[in-house]
A and B are shown apart, each in its own frame.
Chain A
Amino acid sequence: MATRRADVGTDLAETDEVERSTVSTGARHEGVWRYRGSYWGKMALGISVTLIIAYVLIDVEPRHNGGSWLGYTLGTAGGGLILWLTMLGVRKRAMTPGRWSLKGWTSAHVYLGLSLVVIGTLHTGFQLGWNVHTLAWVLMMIVIVTGIFGITVYGILPRQLSSNRDETTEAQMLETVTDIDRQLFDTAQPLDADGAAVIQEAIDETPFDGGIGQRLSGKYRGGGTARGLADFRARSSHGDRSLDELYDRLEALLARKQAALSRIRRHLRIKALLQIWLYIHVPMTFALLAALSAHIVSVFFYW
C-alpha cells in the first residue's frame, strides 16, 4: 500500500496540475463515514432528531412507556431495525458495487445502528429495571458501543499496525524469530547445563504465549527471553576470553529475540484491539435477538 502510494506520488510530480487533481480525487478513499456524502448519516440524524422532538411533544399519560402507541411504534421500528442490522452478517459475504453496494449497506449499518440508541432508549421511556426488557436494552447498547469501538479502531489502528510491521509480513516476523531461535540453539551448544537451560527457556518462548489479557494490554512480564537476557548480561566480563565472546554473542542474540518478540507483540496487540470488538459485537447481537424474542413474547404473554 505504502509502496503504491509512493509510486503514485512520484508519477504525479511529473504530470500537470489538472491531471493531479483528477487523480487525487479519484484516488481519495471514500469510507463508510463519507459514503455518498454521509447520506445515511444525515438520514440517521434526521430520524433521531425527529423522534426526540416527537417524544417531547407527544403527551403520554401517565408517563412515557413502551406500551403507549408511541412506544409500540418505536419498539416495532427498533426491532425491525435490529433484524436488518443483523443482516449485515449475511450481506457482507456478497460484495456488490453500486447504489446498494456493500459499502452503502455498511454505511447505513453504522449510521442507522447509531440512531438505534435514540430509538431503543426512547422506546424504554427511560424506565429501566432488573428485567428482561432492560436486558434487551443493555445488550443492544453493548452491541452498539462495541460497534462504535470497532469503527473507531478501524480508523486509527491500521496506520499504527503498518508502521509497526515496517514492511514485513507476519510470516516474515515469525521467520525472524525462528531464525534467531536457530542461531541461539547453535550458539549455545558449548554451554554447561545451567546455561543451556536458560537458553532453552528463551527458545521456548513464543510471541503467542499468554492469554487475552496480555494480548490486549501488550504487557508480558518475565518471559524466558527477558530472563535469559538478564542472566547473560550478568555473566558478561567473566574474564575467560572465549567464554566472554560466547556470552556476548548469546546476549546479542537474546536482545534481538527480545526486540523481535516485542515487535510481534505490538503487532498482536494492535490486531487484538482491531478484532476483539467483533468477538463481543457478534455474540451480543445474537444474545440481543434472544432477549428481544423473550421481550416481545413476554409483553404479549402477560398483556
Chain B
Amino acid sequence: MSFVVKYRSRTSGGREIIRAKTVDSDTLKIGRSAECDIVLSDLGVTLHHATIQLSGKSQVTIVTEENLPVTVNGRSTTRADISAVRGGTVRIGPHRLSIGIGDGEGEEGRIAITVDREESADKVKAHRMFSLAGVVPGKRITSWVFVALILLSCLAFPIYSYYSSKGVEQRADGFHADTLWVSGAMSDGHANLANDCQSCHVEAFVSVRDSACVECHTDIPDHAEADLMATAEPELGFGRSFLRTVATAFNRPERSCASCHVEHEGAGRMAAAPQQFCADCHTDLDTRLTETSLLNAHDFGSDHPEFRPRIMTRPADENGMARYRRVSIDDEPQENTGLKFPHELHLSDTNGVARMAQRLSDEYGFGEALDCADCHVATPDGTRFEPISMEANCQMCHSLAFDRIGGTVRTLRHGEPEMVIADIRAFYRGTSPRRPIDLSGMERRRPGDDSRARTVGRYQFAARTRYAQADSAIRAVFSRDGACFDCHEVERPPTRASLAFDIVPVRQISRYMHDGWFDHAAHETEDCSTCHVASESEEASDVLLPGIETCRDCHAGAVAGGNEIVSTCAMCHSYHADDAAPYLVRARNNRGQRPRSVRDYGGLAINPRGDR
C-alpha cells in the first residue's frame, strides 16, 4: 500500500503550487527532520512529531509522540483514527494535513494526504513588522529635517550674514556664517581678509571688481594703456571666444585683476599669472600693435628677441647730459663711458699688472693676478655692482703722487682738472730746482772757479725759468702717457697756447636691462667669466654683456628638460611696470626660500622688496 503526499503552497500572486510524491509504505513519519516522510519545516514541530499508520483499507491511525497532542478534526488528542473516505484534518502547528482518497491521475485507491500551511496572521502587518520602518526614523521625515538644516545653516544664515554686515567698514571678529562659503584658503597676503568676505565680494551676485582691489592696492601701475591692450589682444579661438561669451553673459569683466590673480587657491603666496597670459598678446604683437617698439616674444627658450641693453653712447653731450641708446647685442654695440680701460691688460696673469698685484698682495689682498672682485664690489643686495671709483679701486696702483714733504705724499686731486693744473703750478712756483752737487758747501770740485761759476749760472737760469716749466708738466699730465690721459678722455684746450685742459666726465651704467631684471646674487654659483668674456676685451668700449644664447645654456622657456631651469616671463619681467624686481623674484625673497635643486631657479638669496 502507498500514500500520496501533496504539498500545497501559494505564490505571492495567489497561484496554487502542488508538489506530489508517492510513499510506498504503511507508515508515515511526520516531523521536522528530513528523514520523515512528511516534512513540516516549522520550529513548532518536533523532529519526529507523529506517525500515521494504515489501519484498514481506507483508514489511518495517527499516533503522536509523548506529550505532543495534535488537533484532529478540532479535537486535541495523542491518538486518533481517521477514515479517508470521510476525510479528516490533522493540525500540527500551523500545518494542516487533509486526509482523503486520491482523485488525481495515478492516485486511484490511494490515500492522499494534502499538506498546507495556514496563514492566519495578517501578511501586511507582518511585513511591516519585519521591515526596518519601525526601528529607524522614516525616510521622508529624515529628508525634510536634513534639507531644512542644510538650507538654514548653509544658505539662509550666510545670506543673513551678508546683509547684516553690509555697509560695515570692518567686520567684527568672531564667526560670520558666510565664511562657510569659502571655497579655499586665502593666499598669505590676503589672509587677514579671510573673515571679511565683503571686503572683496562687495555686491551680491556681482563678481569681484577691480575697484575692490585698488581700494588697498593704490600704487599698482597698469601694464599699458587700456586701448593699447585691447588692440594687442589676439583674435580668440573658438573655445576661448565661447568662454568669453559665456563670461560676458554672466557679467564677468574681462582683463580684470582677478583674471590673473586667482584667489582662494590655498595658503601660501598667490600664484603668478601663467606665461600664456603674456604670450597671448606678445606673440606677433607687431601685427596688431603696428606702432610698437616692443619686439615679439612668447617663450624665453624658443621665441625671445636678443637682449637690447641700454648703453651709453656719450657720457656727456654739449649740455653735459649722458646719451643712451638701446642696441641689440647682435649689433656688437660700442659704449662710451668716458673711461679707458683694457680689461684684458688688467686680468692677465703674466704681465706687469700681475706683478704689481703680487707686490701689493699683502696690503690689498690681491692674488697672483687681479681678479674681477678686486675692483667690482657687489651692492648690498647683491643684485648689481657698486660703481668703480678711483679712490677705492684704481688708486692703489695708479698713484697720483707728485711730491713728498717730510713723510707725506702729495697727490693730484682726482676729478678736479683745474685743481690739478693749479697744484702743478704751485709746485713749480714753490720749489726750486734740485741744487747741483757742486754748489753745496762740502763740494768736491775741479780746481778753479770757472766750473763753479758756470754751474751757478745754469742753476740761476733754471731757478729763474722754473715756474715756466709748469706748462710743459701740465701738458704732459694731460697728454699721452700722462697720468690723466692713460685713463680718461681729455678735452684739449681750444688754442695751442692755452692750458685749459678738461676731462670728459665718466659715467657708469648700473643697470643695462630696464625692461627686464637680472640678479647677480641669483647667479653666484657661476664664475664671472661664464657670461662676461672680460679677459679678451682690449677696449673699454666693449659691452661685456652676454647674449641670450648664453642664458639659454641654463634657462629654458616655460617647459624645461634635463637640468634646465623653467623660466617664464615673470622671472625677469614685471607685468605692473615699476622698477622693482619682478614678482617671482620678490616672492621668493620674501619667503627666504632656499633652492633645493637647480630647477628652483638657482641660488636665490636676494634682496627684500624695494631694492632696485
A residues sitting closer than 8 Å to B (CB atoms) are 3-4, 59, 61-63, 65-67, 69, 127, 129, 131-133, 135, 166-172, 174-176, 178-180, 208, 211-212, 215, 245, 249, 252, 256, 259-260, 263, 267-268, 271-272, 275-276, 278-279, 282-287, 289-291, 293-294, 297-303
Contacts and interface: CB of A to CB of B under 8 A. Distances in A.
A84 B129 CA distance: 33
A252 B265 CA distance: 71
Interface in B195-220: 197, 201, 204-208
A284 B19 contact: no
B538 interface: no
A166 B119 contact: no
B488 interface: no
B126 A127 contact: no
A211 B155 contact: no
A77 to B, nearest CB: 15
A252 B47 CA distance: 12
Main secondary structure of the interface of A (DSSP, over half): helix
Contacts of B487: none
Contacts of B394: none
B129 A208 contact: yes
Given A301-B162, A301-B205, A303-B252, A62 B262 contact: yes
B41 interface: yes
B117 interface: yes
Given A127-B184, A275-B132, A279-B132, A298 B155 contact: yes
B365 interface: no
Contacts of A180: 43-44
A179 B208 CA distance: 75
A180 to B, nearest CB: 6
Contacts of B117: 168-169, 172
A229 to B, nearest CB: 14
Interface string B213-253: 00000000000000000000000000000010000000010
30 contacts: A61-B271, A62-B274, A65-B262, A65-B264, A133-B183, A135-B150, A135-B154, A168-B42, A171-B121, A171-B126, A175-B93, A175-B118, A208-B129, A212-B132, A212-B136, A263-B43, A267-B130, A276-B136, A278-B139, A279-B142, A283-B139, A286-B146, A287-B146, A289-B147, A293-B151, A298-B155, A298-B158, A300-B205, A301-B204, A303-B208
Nearest to A281: B139
Interface of B: 9, 17, 19, 41-44, 46, 67, 93-94, 117-123, 126-127, 129-132, 134-137, 139, 142-147, 149-151, 154-155, 158-159, 162, 178, 180-185, 197, 201, 204-208, 243, 252, 262, 264-266, 271-274, 276
A174 B44 CA distance: 11
Given A279-B142, A298-B158, A176 B271 contact: no
Contact of B143 (A66, A286, A303): A286
A168 B41 contact: yes
- 7 nearest A-B pairs in the assembled complex, by CB-CB distance: A62-B271, A287-B146, A286-B143, A283-B142, A61-B274, A290-B150, A302-B201
B135 A212 contact: yes
Contacts of B272: 62
Contacts of A66: 183
Contacts of B262: 61-62, 65, 67
Nearest to B67: A249
A2 B149 CA distance: 47
Contacts of A133: 181, 183
B214 to A, nearest CB: 19
A298 to B, nearest CB: 4
A176 B43 contact: yes
Contacts of A297: 155
Given A291-B154, A297-B155, 9 more contacts: A3-B19, A65-B184, A127-B266, A169-B126, A174-B129, A179-B93, A278-B139, A287-B149, A294-B154
A176 B44 contact: yes
A132 B43 contact: no
A291 B180 CA distance: 12
B142 to A, nearest CB: 4
Contact of B127 (A170, A245, A252, A301): A170
B119 A169 contact: yes
A286 B143 CA distance: 6
Contacts of A252: 46
B150 A291 contact: yes
Nearest to B141: A283
A249 B183 CA distance: 71
A303 B42 contact: no
A129 B150 contact: no
A303 B201 contact: yes
B41 A303 contact: no
Contacts of B17: 3-4
Nearest to B137: A279
Given A172-B42, A303-B252, A279 B139 contact: yes
A168 B147 CA distance: 41
Candidate in A59, A175, A252, A278 with the most chain B CB atoms within 10 angstroms: A175
Contact of A272 (B19, B118, B132): B132
A245 to B, nearest CB: 8
A152 to B, nearest CB: 17
Nearest to A302: B201
A225 B71 CA distance: 26
A178 to B, nearest CB: 8
Contacts of B122: 171
Contacts of B42: 168, 172, 176
A111 to B, nearest CB: 24
Contacts of A69: 243
Contacts of B139: 278-279, 282-283
Nearest to B129: A208
B114 to A, nearest CB: 16
Nearest to B271: A62
A272 B197 CA distance: 46
B131 A175 contact: no
B132 A259 contact: no
Contacts of B67: 245, 249
Contacts of A166: 41
Candidate in A61, A66, A259, A285 with the most chain B CB atoms within 10 angstroms: A61
B150 A287 contact: yes
Given A133-B183, A168-B42, A215-B135, A303 B206 contact: yes
A284 B142 CA distance: 9
A65 B180 CA distance: 17
B67 to A, nearest CB: 6
B266 to A, nearest CB: 7
B121 A290 contact: no
Nearest to A166: B41
Given A272-B132, A302-B201, A175 B274 contact: no
Nearest to A176: B44
Candidate in B17, B130, B276 with the most chain A CB atoms within 10 angstroms: B130
Given A267-B130, A289-B147, A302 B155 contact: no
Contact of A63 (B127, B145, B265): B265
A170 B265 CA distance: 57
Contacts of B142: 279, 282-283
Contacts of A62: 262, 265, 271-272, 274
A229 B215 CA distance: 83
Nearest to B203: A303
